[in-house]
Structure 1
Amino acid sequence: MQSTPNYLWSTEDLLGQGATARVYKARNKKSGELVAVKVFNNASYLRPQEVQMREFEMLRKLNHKNIVKLFAVEETGSTKQKVLVMEYCSSGSLLNVLEDPANAFGLAESEFLIVLQCVVAGMNHLRENGVVHRDIKPGNIMRLMGEDGQSIYKLTDFGAARELDDDEKFVSVYGTEEYLHPDMYERAVLRKPQQKVYGVTVDLWSIGVTFYHAATGSLPFVPYGGPRRNKEVMYKITTEKPPGAIAGVQRQENGSIEWSYELPITCRLSVGLKDQLIPILANILEVDQEKCWGFDQFFAETNDILHRIVVDVFSLQQASSHRIYIHPYNTATKFLDAVFKQTNIVPHHQEYFFEGHLYELDPNLQAHNFCRTTQHNPLTLLSSAEQAEDVVGVRYRDPALEFPKFVPKVDVVADCSAAKSAVGAVHQTLRIAQALRHCRELLARGLHWVIGNLKTECSRILEQKRGAHSVLTCLQLTEVKTCVLYEAVSAGSRGLALKDMAMVKTRLQRVSEELSQCSHSIFDSQRALDGILAELVERGQQGHEDKSIRQIESCLEKMQLVYKQFKKARTCLRLGYNEEQIHKLDK
């Protein structure tokens, strides 16, 4: 156990460690309140006094809900080591979240937007106070759960932070290499002498890498063998990146770099959000500090995303879901154009249903007055174009391609890594299966609505037909009576009149036949619609009997238990004979 005058902790309750300090979970001696204590080691005291005091001073001047709070600075009783007493974030870090196999392909859209909002707000407070962090990464973004059950992310670890205005530069190098600006990487990692100075935009590069990691589950720049094993190629990738590229991967030793200008198909973000995010990533992952966006533009563009509302749309004929990010003050005209961009259905061919009824969109209606949609209750889009729309469906990459190969030899580290990848692939499989089921449900519901609307229209036409038939009967009776009257008039004009009446009678007869044919056509349509409805009900029952999702969930549960065992085995230097046999069977 260790303590300061007001706080107590066990050295077994380690939360994290770095080059100059360790962080423990601790308690207030009087209230029992949980806190985090950062205990500095001997190496930290080798730094200049100014550098040692910088973190204390930074945290004292910062006060924001998205920055970890400093409660006190104390000393241990025995060794007189400096201790920072800080807010305890019970849910670990963003890195812990991304290390969960469930997030192997990135965060869900709702969680990513929370990360975006929290990091942008925290960074905005830093810039308002003229602070550059210099070590932004998922491990330095802490997480706790709010009272509403939503995550709150907070920036932490200001050991590398210092005061710096937008137009100032610095020369000292800090940071974690995968998230480090290439200019700083060249000096800090490759140890190459250079006279470059660095500005506040180095934080933007680290934010770009962090956001890409959060969105995809992977780092954007990966040389063959990984960033830590192939440092020269890592530097080459980041410095030779073409304009607009947001990722570069080398898949073979000495192979070419595959550049990417889009987020991968495995990413869980919607096309609507990707379209907003990609230009931001492209402009902050810019090696030339002169071409890179400044913080003002970064804040403007990210807040533009955060101030938009989402309208969920399901395109019926294409069987595809869409999320339209739009400003609350934008009109329906702007919304229809945004839908066209994602679906290729022109505005005048777009018809909408919502909760079973046709939904008319006044061109001047503002988006904040639209009906409230969700992914489970979207606007259903029907294209009125004569040419059939291409079916899009659920776009995905076969998760089997992500499934790792297990080697026969027992290697607890490699096996644990492979198990993690396998569990991540099955999580992705489950999400795809759920998306396909959701798509099927929206298709069935949308078809029910359209068929119901068509049947109502048929009934309305039949009612109008009955009205028309009544009028026709009256006209035919009038024609008979008129003929009788003409029979009584003089013979001179009778012939011409009777000829005209015969023509009227023929036309009335033709109308009667057409009305009868119309009735038969409508009855045929109603029978066809009833047949489609019956087929939909039958397929719906088959869907309810489908056990594939439950089977995937059961498989995933078993695999997670094995992965848990493999994580435990990884901490052992060597497995006993029996443990090794069980390990092989689990593998």
Structure 2
Amino acid sequence: MQSTPNYLWSTEDLLGQGATASVYKARNKKSGELVAVKVFNNASYLRPQEVQMREFEMLRKLNHKNIVKLFAVEETGSSKQKVLVMEYCSSGSLLSVLEDPANAFGLAESEFLIVLQCVVAGMNHLRENGVVHRDIKPGNIMRLVGEDGQSIYKLTDFGAARELEDHEKFVSVYGTEEYLHPDVYERAVLRKPQQKVFGVTVDLWSIGVTFYHAATGSLPFLPFGGPRRNKEIMYKITTEKPPGAIAGIQRQENGNIEWSYELPITCRLSVGLKDQLIPILANILEVDQEKCWGFDQFFAGTNDILHRMVVDVFSLQQASSHRIYIHSYNTTTKFLDAVFKQTNIVPHHQEYFFEGHLYELDPNLQAHNFCKTTESSPLTLLSTSEQPEDVVGVQYRDPALEFPKLVPRVDVVADCSAAKSAVGAAHQTLRLGQRLRRGRELLARGLHWLIGNLRTECSRILEQRRGAHSVLACLQLTQGRTHLLYEAAPAGSRGPAGVDVLRTRLQRVEEELSQCSHSIFDFQGALDGILAELVKDRQQVHEDKSIQQIECCLQKMQVIYKQFKKARTCLRLGYNEEQIHKLDKLHLGNLARRVLSIFQNDCVQQYQEALALHSSRMRKVCEIKRHLKRLSNRISSCSVEMMECQECLQAALDRLLQPEKWDLAPAPPEPPPVPLGQEMALRMQELLEQLRSVSCDLQLNNSIIERLGGAAPTPPV
């Protein structure tokens, strides 16, 4: 046990160790509060007094939620060693998070964004106080979990920090070699004499390497054999990196460097976030300090990401998920353009569903008013283009390539490393299986919504057709009565011929409406058939146990990995322990093969079958959708035809309803037995009343046609 006047700790509670100090978990003697104490060793006192005091002074000056707090500076009772009493971060460091096999391929997107926000905020506070850290790395970014369960990351270890304004330079070298700027690396690691001076941008290089590590689970620059074993190639990679490249790897000894301008496909970040992050990495991983971004540009770029909101979108025809990063004040127009960049579906062909309903997006609607989406509850995108969309599906790298080969020979260090890689690969396989399953669910659900919408459209068109048929029946009756009245009227009142022609036109309308009715019933039957298939498919997805089986294998692999971690601490295994170790390694290999078998034979196969069925169904459904639109237009055209017929009837009746314009010529020579004037007056009076009755019917028909919206048909698609 060791202590200061107010704090007590055990040397077994070691949290971390460096060249000049060790950090322990300690307690306040009065309150029992947990703290971290940094105890400096004898080597630290060989440094100049100014350097020894620098960390104390820095921590006293800084005060921010993303920088570890300094509570006190005390001395141990016996040796009078200096002790920094600091805030205790109970969840280790960002490095320990990345060392977890679950994060072997980088952090989840939500966690990465928290790291980004915390590091940027902490660095911003440093720059406001004119401080350069000079040793940014995952091990110096501590983590604790807040009351809301969310991570909080804090910068720590200011032993190398110093005050430096943007325009000032320094010549001393500090830091951890994998994260060092190449100019610093050249002198500090390769020990080459050079007269270069360094500015505050060296921190930006370290941040770039740290962010890449957090996003991918690996370092961006890797010579064959590792950076510590091949330092000259490490320097060559970082200094010869082409502009815009964010990673370089040498896969064979003395082999070529493979440059990368993108984050790897195994990375867990979405394309939407990658597109925002890559330009920042490219501009801070710049060797030439004159070309590298300054902190103002870095803060502007990162804050632009952090101030964006996310809209999750699932492209139904392409079977692909997308995350759209957009500012809350951007309008629908900007959002549709962003979707186009990821899906290649032009804005005017984008149609959306949300939670089963057609989701209309007003062009001027701001993004903060959009519905709240998640990866499992996205906006479902449908392309209205007549050109079929290519199926993209879930894009991934075959996880079989990530599993290490397990050799029979017992090597506790190598076996532990291999077990860690195997567990990491199993985690990645599990995530891929979950993505494939979620993809199947989104396919079935989206198509179910689309079919529901089309069935509603069928009902609407049937109602439209019934209304048109009712008007047709009235018009046919009116046409018949008008024809009889027209024949009964004096010859001079009839005007141009045409009432008889209307019968033929109305018969054509009747045939057209009858065909539309049969087509709609056929479409309803086809949609009901697909819907029944979807219900079965969704039930199969629900009953699928492949994810649970992979999880079970993964749990057993993690137990073996923990055993191998314990074995690694032993210098030599006893005979019995070695035999158990061999059996565990054999079992680990069997579990890894089982995980891959479940993934390939269940997850992938079922997903591929679902994609094939989905493509066929989407073609049928989209064809029905187009036909329904044409049917609606045909019924609207019928309504227009009926309106024209009605106008002809009305014109004929208008002429008949104006007796003063009738040409009543004298009758032929035979005189009637009764006076002509009296009989003609009675006939005309009766005819006028009938004409007025028919005219009222026509006016009623006209109002019905207008309600059907038959004023003008929409253009066919």
Q: Does 1:213 align with 2:220?
A: no
Aligned residue identity for 2:519: S
Q: Aligned runs of 1:471-510 on 2, under 5 Å?
A: 471-489=471-489, 497=497, 500-510=498-508
Shift of 1:193: 0.6
| Bigger Cα displacement from structure 2, 484-493 vs 29-38 | 484-493
Shift of 1:494: 9.1
Find the partner of 1:537 among 535, 538, 548: 535
In 2: Cα distance, 1:53 partner to 1:210 partner: 27
User: In structure 2, what is the equivalent of residue 137 of structure 1?
Assistant: 137
In 1: Cα distance, 2:475 partner to 2:368 partner: 53
In 1: Cα distance, 2:490 partner to 2:3 partner: 128
Find the partner of 2:523 among 519, 522, 525: 525
Q: Deviations over 1:90-123 (max 9, x none)?
A: 0000000000000000000000000000000000
In terms of fraction of residues, the more helix-rich structure is: 2
Shift of 1:437: 1.0
Aligned residue identity for 1:41: N
SS at match of 2:323: strand
User: In structure 1, what is the equivalent of residue 106 of structure 2?
Assistant: 106
Shift of 1:366: 1.1
Aligned residue identity for 1:222: L
Q: Aligned runs of 1:286-365 on 2, under 5 Å?
A: 286-365=286-365
In 2: Cα distance, 1:301 partner to 1:490 partner: 88
Shift of 1:501: 4.3
- TM-score, reference length from structure 2: 0.80
Q: Does 1:401 align with 2:401?
A: yes
Aligned residue identity for 2:446: G
Q: Aligned runs of 1:136-285 on 2, under 5 Å?
A: 136-285=136-285
Shift of 1:324: 0.7
Aligned residue identity for 2:306: L
User: In structure 1, what is the equivalent of residue 561 of structure 2?
Assistant: 563
Q: Deviations over 1:238-274 (max 9, x none)?
A: 0000000000000000000000000000000011100
Shift of 1:493: 9.7
Q: Deviations over 1:345-382 (max 9, x none)?
A: 00000111112111111111111111111212211111
In 1: Cα distance, 2:542 partner to 2:380 partner: 22
Aligned residue identity for 1:526: Q
Aligned residue identity for 1:67: I
Q: Deviations over 1:124-165 (max 9, x none)?
A: 000111111000000000000001100000000001001101
User: In structure 1, what is the equivalent of residue 440 of structure 2?
Assistant: 440
SS at match of 2:394: coil
The question of whether the paired residues in 1 share the 8 Å contact of 2:483 and 2:500 is answered with: no
SS at match of 2:258: strand
Aligned residue identity for 1:265: I
In 2: Cα distance, 1:36 partner to 1:287 partner: 36
Change in Cα spacing, 1:495 to 1:336, as seen in structure 2 (3 Å) is closer
In 2: Cα distance, 1:270 partner to 1:492 partner: 82
- Provide the identity percentage: 89
Shift of 1:492: 9.5
Aligned residue identity for 2:299: F
SS at match of 2:389: coil
The question of whether the paired residues in 1 share the 8 Å contact of 2:145 and 2:152 is answered with: yes
Shift of 1:503: 2.8
- TM-score, reference length from structure 1: 0.98
User: In structure 1, what is the equivalent of residue 419 of structure 2?
Assistant: 419
SS at match of 2:10: strand
Q: Deviations over 1:552-573 (max 9, x none)?
A: 1011011000101111111011
Aligned residue identity for 2:509: V
Aligned residue identity for 2:505: R
In 1: Cα distance, 2:64 partner to 2:496 partner: 98
SS at match of 2:83: strand
Shift of 1:477: 1.2
Find the partner of 2:512 among 508, 514, 518: 514
Aligned residue identity for 1:3: S
In 1: Cα distance, 2:40 partner to 2:525 partner: 80
User: In structure 2, what is the equivalent of residue 464 of structure 1?
Assistant: 464
SS at match of 1:375: coil
SS at match of 1:57: helix
SS at match of 2:198: coil
Find the partner of 1:578 among 576, 593, 610: 576
Aligned residue identity for 2:327: H
Q: Deviations over 1:458-491 (max 9, x none)?
A: 1011011101001111111122223333443568
Aligned residue identity for 2:541: G
Matched residues, number: 585
Aligned residue identity for 2:559: L
SS at match of 1:575: coil
In 2: Cα distance, 1:321 partner to 1:129 partner: 43
Aligned residue identity for 1:62: L
In 2: Cα distance, 1:537 partner to 1:426 partner: 31
SS at match of 1:405: coil
Aligned residue identity for 2:84: L
Aligned residue identity for 1:583: H
Shift of 1:279: 0.3
Q: Deviations over 1:299-344 (max 9, x none)?
A: 1110111111111111111111111111111111111111100100
User: In structure 1, what is the equivalent of residue 544 of structure 2?
Assistant: 546
User: In structure 1, what is the equivalent of residue 39 of structure 2?
Assistant: 39
User: In structure 2, what is the equivalent of residue 367 of structure 1?
Assistant: 367
In 2: Cα distance, 1:247 partner to 1:55 partner: 33
